[in-house]
Copies of this chain bind each other. A is one copy, B any other.
């Protein structure tokens, strides 16, 4: 499947190059520290899926102005701001194989640079003079913070079900991808049904994207993941594979999983047992199937658009989410 990745990257290379340049140009901090912290995390391996979705959505809707690359950085800044705050909230040590920002610059700078990026995002969006775009950003940001709080409250809660899980990942991941696609359509002054179709597209690939990410935490090699597998479970984050298995398990097996998960310090062999039980009850397969369904729904949303290079790219991007989280 490596071919798909290379094919997509090839096709969007000029866009990605412009996005990279815009990410630096629009930061405009007064203090070098802000720039250091922001760039450390921003140029630490992100694939720019969010800016790219915005740019391609705008193009699909016929946009031919020159503010798309600038506006697109907003979706990376917001993403990075939440990474900074979330790593702190989660007490994470490693992100994409590197030490997290707060372990280098401390919690204070990390909190404040996150705030700065949120603020810069709104300032950049304001330049569009589009109230609907600003509105989407404001609501997305509010939803994302509430999503993180929701996840925090669910932490270690063995009663969490699939509905809770979907709600958490919707707020945590899908709503920003949705906002990126929606903003692209709005920037192009697209009719309501196109805006809605792209919002739905973004929502669905966002859900699939997070499901694929959560799967990786059980299935990936540490070298690919950039952190140890089982990190979610160790942080008390119950994701779909384990939620599904817990609900299907015999009372005895459920008890075994609960004992291991409830432990403050999950051992390597404990994690292996949980993984075996997840596989026994089909949690991995189930999660993969759900993700695939959302990808199919995402692609369906694009059917109202005429065939075009942008539409093909957005369809390919949807498939790519399943192959490997970007």
Q: Taking beta carbons and an 8 Å cutoff, which residues of A are in contact with B? A: 29-31, 33-34, 85, 88-90, 107-109, 111-116, 118-120, 122-123, 125-126, 129, 131, 134-135, 137-139, 141-142, 144-146, 148-150, 152-153
Contact = CB atoms under 8 A, between A and B. Distances in A.
B108 A111 contact: no
Most interface-central of A34, A122, A134 (chain B CB within 10 A)? A122
Contacts of A138: 119-120, 122-123, 125-126
A89 B113 contact: no
B134 A119 contact: no
B115 A29 contact: no
B153 A141 contact: no
Given A89-B111, A112-B148, A131 B126 contact: yes
Nearest to A125: B138
Contacts of A123: 135, 138-139, 142
A29 B146 contact: yes
A1 B108 CA distance: 39
A89 to B, nearest CB: 4
Most interface-central of A29, A116, A149, A152 (chain B CB within 10 A)? A149
A116 B142 contact: yes
A137 B122 contact: yes
11 contacts: A31-B150, A31-B153, A85-B112, A88-B111, A89-B107, A115-B118, A116-B149, A118-B118, A118-B141, A122-B137, A123-B142
Contacts of A111: 85, 88-89, 111, 114
Given A85-B115, A123-B135, A137-B122, A31 B146 contact: yes
A145 B90 CA distance: 22
Contacts of A148: 108, 112, 115
B126 A108 contact: no
9 smallest CB-CB distances across A and B, nearest first, come from A119-B141, A119-B142, A123-B138, A89-B108, A115-B145, A122-B138, A116-B145, A126-B135, A112-B149
